[in-house]
Structure 1
Amino acid sequence: MCRTVPLLWRWRCAADCSSSVARVDTTLAREAATETERLVAWLRLPAIGLLILARELPHPNPEKNGFYVALALFSVWSIGALVWVTLRPASGRFALSATALDVTFFTALAVLSGGAFSNARDAYFLVPVAVAFRFRPAVTAIAAAATVVAYVIQAVVHPASRAADADRLIATFAGYLIWVGAACVALSALLARRTEAAAQLADARSRLLADALSAEQRERKSLAEGLHDHAVQNLLSALHELEEATEEQAHPALGRAEHALVETVQQLRDAIFELHPYVLDEAGLDAAVRSVATRAAERAGVELRLDVEPGAAGRNDQLLFSAVRELLTNVVRHARAKMVSVTLRPVGDDVLLVVEDDGSGLDPKRLGERLADGHIGLASQRVRIESAGGRMSVVSRPGLGTRAEVRLPRV
């Protein structure tokens, strides 16, 4: 397991882990990073009002007009950053640039409102706090140190530094910044350890999922082979004997028995396909989805709309096939639908599966009742999909059908 760091920087070490776990960690880390940047962006907005109030307090200030220009630019930056991270994912480069801009703006505002005596200097405390839960401890320490240096430099070069007690004020406030910065580094280290523990649990869950899927597939394949090599062959032999007996002496009972054997053989072949679809191994995901969808539509007597695009196959083929099989089984057994559509297509590095029907739908309140009655097919599929770094959503309303979407990493 690679060393894990808080939120935004976890993706840097994910490449060193196993491929499947790394991709799951990368997806989660990027989502967490975007969520964190949105939180920081919201935190900047109250600072605008506080900076205005701080400006009105008495302090030595040789600059009369520049402060509000800098504050206006900071306001534009704060609102722009909020819009940016709301509309698109955040990146590590954006977070670093945002931190540098925050330090720059706070320094400019302090210079333009009294230097060492500026009440705007309190805004510096936002920097180490915001960095602590966005970056690893080393970066947090660098950002905290840069904040202290920026404050000290602007305070020393400002004309107000020649006022009485200015040196003591600069040293005291720099000490507070160092103290808060050290606390933030400790917080960042704590978050890193907790993130690593959570990543280890996710890694263990992914390994358990892989082992469970592998064991299940081995058992299903073994059972399918046993049925095909023994039960089906025995029935075919019996059917052959029965056909010969019917040729020698026709009898209605023999005809009925022959028909029953033919139906039983077909049922067993369907069961063998459900247990282990050899077409998935031999012909790939596209052919397997087409086959299981066609069979399900025939059993349910519904219209099938199939849209399977090439290039959807990937490392989660077995999981995708299991999902489409479970979703179509629910349509056959419960939906009372007239039409079912199955869509499978690549979307970037992911693959999207959509199964939709126009059936009776399901009241969300009944989902708990079905789970209590032992219907855990969809619930178990959701756990497997999420453990593999994917997502599954089911939207259903009584009388309006059901739409299920599954999205899984393809590469």
Structure 2
Amino acid sequence: MTTGFVPSSESAMVRGLQLQLGLRILLAAFIAATLLWQPPDNHLWLHWGVALTYAVVVAAWAVWGLRSARRSPAEPARSVALFMLGADLTVVAVLSVEAGISSPQAWTSDVLQYGLFLIPLIAAAQLDPVISAIVAVPAIVTFFAINCVNRSVNDDEPWGSIVVTTGVLSGLAAGSVALSWIQQSNTRTIAGLAQERAGLLEEVIGLEKRERQSLSERLHDGALQYVLAAKREMEEVREGSTDGMDRVELALGESSRLLRDVVRELHPEVLARSGLKAALTSLADGIAARTALDVSVDAGSWPDDLRTEADHLLYGAAREFSTNVIKHAKADSLRFTLCRADGRALLRIADDGVGIPPDRLAMAVENGHIGFASVRAKVLAAGGDFEVTGAPGTTISIALPVPGTD
């Protein structure tokens, strides 16, 4: 279900390109404003030519980049990003150095050099720490070189000022590298969580489909067969056969019992009427009555009248795992623990049986036994935690968020 993540990935890329475009427009506007209000004494036409060429390159890149992002969520080539950052750096460096040499008495070069402070910000918008690091060094070197050229021509700026401003740019560049790394890490984490969520939802849908199929097979092979058998016996009943009536009564009785079992699993009456605590106690009493297990329930801190959205999932988990204990664990005791803390419902099912092998969940799904995997997928999809520990015995711990219960 990766298609569910494409729109958000594409949107993030478009926003990144829009941020870069905005910063480049700001850089172009800064250059134009400098040439208007602090024009060089010589070669003004050359400066405007370089500035207009840069504007055309930015416009062409913007059209290409935004169209590419909307057509495909793939990240643009690193070579294109480096080319554009090289163009950003080159236009400021060329204009600053040329103005400093040809027009030393004008303030053009002294103002233009501060456009280099925008370069690390543009690089940071790439969300690529490698690109930010590659661009940081030439930006710092270029800024220091321009200051050295202007100082050699004007001989009026102290070295301390040059070192301090270069240090500020270095700090900005280092910050852009760190910001790129942090944002890239966050983006990957979000992407991983989105893919995991999509996978869990897909798994839940598949498991629910198989559960419905299993329910259909139980109804068809169980209650329906008894109903059909009763229907076949009705002919003898019409003829006054006492044995036929007995068989019909038996078939209908078994059909009723099987249907009640199915209905109880789908929506246990005690859970709806009395809540999770009572339902767990009833489940434990039923297990103790029909098995030799020593069953106990520890739910003293759970209010009798509490109802939460997690009740059905927790009860289903308790029923599923207790059934597994009865069938496979070879245990002597079974213990249910139910409590709540920090807005979460906590259920622990523990036995002293043979334990569960590490690959038990995967094997269960492959062999068609979907109970474990189904509960786990539903718990994770609901934002909860699912943990299985053993040796000796098995302990299954489930935590589900239940806001507003504390």
Q: TM-score, normalised by structure 1?
A: 0.46
**TM-score, normalised relative to structure 2:** 0.47
Higher Cα radius of gyration: 2
